[in-house]
Amino acid sequence: MLFVFPPETFVVALSDYDRRYSNPIDVKAGDIVRPVIDGSMETDFMGWTWCVGPDGRAGWTPDSWCLPTDEGWQISRDFCALELTVRTGDRLRLIYSESGFLFCETDSGERAWVPDAVMRLAV
């Protein structure tokens, strides 16, 4: 479930995390994506399905942002599966969370996902 955080909410990295891939699925609201539901792309994270976008790029996509159609799944909001590389102690602005991942912004303005298991709220 999507949760939007108040402005100026920050998280701090508890451990290092490296970006898994650098050019993942990047789609706009209304685009049709093709879910890979043959069992070949499984994850421990509930609420995410491996999808292929119109340009052939793929990545984990939030199920709750997808609406089934005859052509595939229609994405309900802009989405890019890009993840951040973080190092222990990095501080990020928290924008929203979805099914075990946090969408954050770095000091330099880069916005991407990071697993919530490697982060804690900043106090």
Which contacts (CB < 8 Å, 24+ apart) does range 51-59 have? 51/25, 52/25, 53/25, 53/26, 53/27, 54/27, 57/23, 57/24, 57/25, 57/26, 58/24, 58/25, 59/21, 59/24, 59/25
53 and 12 in a common domain: no
Spatial separation of the C-alpha atoms in residues 58 and 25, rounded to whole Å: 4
Range of the domain at 69: 26-80
71 and 34 in a common domain: yes
The pTM of the whole model exceeds 0.95: no
45 and 71 in a common domain: yes
65 and 30 in a common domain: yes
Please say whether the dihedral angle defined by the alpha carbons of residues 16, 91, 8 and 59, taken in this order, is positive or negative.
Answer: negative
pLDDT tens digit sequence for 64-101? 999 999 999 999 999 999 999 999 999 999 999 999 99
pLDDT tens digit sequence for 20-53? 989 999 999 999 999 998 877 877 778 999 999 9
Report how many domains make up the chain.
Answer: 2
57 and 38 in a common domain: yes
